[in-house]
Amino acid sequence: MAVLVGKNAPKFKSKAVLNGNEIVENFSLDQYLNKKYVLFFFYPADFTFVCPTELLAFQDQLGEFSKRDTAIVACSVDSEFSHWKWLQTPLSEGGIKGVTYPLVSDLAKTVSENYDVLAGSYEYAENGEVSFQGTPQSYRGLFIIDKHGIVRHQLVNDMPLGRSVEEALRIVDALQFFEQNGEVCPANWKKGEKAMKPTQEGVSKFLSEKK
C-alpha cells in the first residue's frame, strides 16, 4: 500500500456527476488548488449496502465541511451513468437521492490504481493475455488534501468497514488548527481543546495541565 501523505495528490481527469444530475467530461481536483481543502474518498460500488450509508452521512455533514472550506468528492469504478441512476433513486429503494457533491467515474480503474486503493491488480501472461486478480473495486480509501494539493491524511478501510464522518471532520479541524496556530494536536484532540507547542517543554506543560 503506497503512502501518499506528504506527496502531491495524483492528478486525473474523468467523467463525473455533479449536483446529483449533471454529467461532466473532464472533472479534476485541480479546480480546488489554492481555493479549498478536499476530502476525496473511494467506495466499492453503486447500489450496494454499506456505501449508501457513507455517502449519505457525508452529505448530512456537507455544511460542516463547507464551513471548513473543504470540498467533498467521491469516486468508484462505476460508470457515470450508474452514478446518475443511483443519484436519481430514492433512499427507500436503495438509492442516494439528495447527494449533491461530485461522484467521479473510475471505469478504467486508473484513479484507484494511482491512489493505490484498487482491491486487486492486472496480471500479464507470457502469451499476452491479461487477467485481473482480486476484486475489481476500490477499498474504502479516504484522502484529505490541503489547498496546495498535498495529501495530509490517508485512511484505507476494507470493504465491510464503514468510515467515521466525525473522525474525518476532526482531522480537518486538526490540520487547519495546526496551519493557523503552529501547535500540534495530541491524541483524541477536538476543536476547542488545548493543543501543544512542538517542543519538549510544550509537551511537558500540556501533560502536566492534563493531570
Note if 51 is an active site residue: yes
Place of cell 494539493: 149
Nearest 5°: the CA angle 16, 49, 27 is 10
The dihedral built from the CA positions of residue 73, 77, 80 and 81, taken in this order, carries a sign that is negative
Return d(Cα 139, Cα 118) in angstroms, integer: 6
Q: Which of 4, 9, 51, 175 is catalytic?
A: 51
The dihedral built from the CA positions of residue 83, 88, 89 and 94, taken in this order, carries a sign that is positive
- In angstroms, how far is CA 87 from the centroid of its own chain? 19
Return d(Cα 86, Cα 60) in angstroms, integer: 17
**Enzyme catalytic residues:** 51
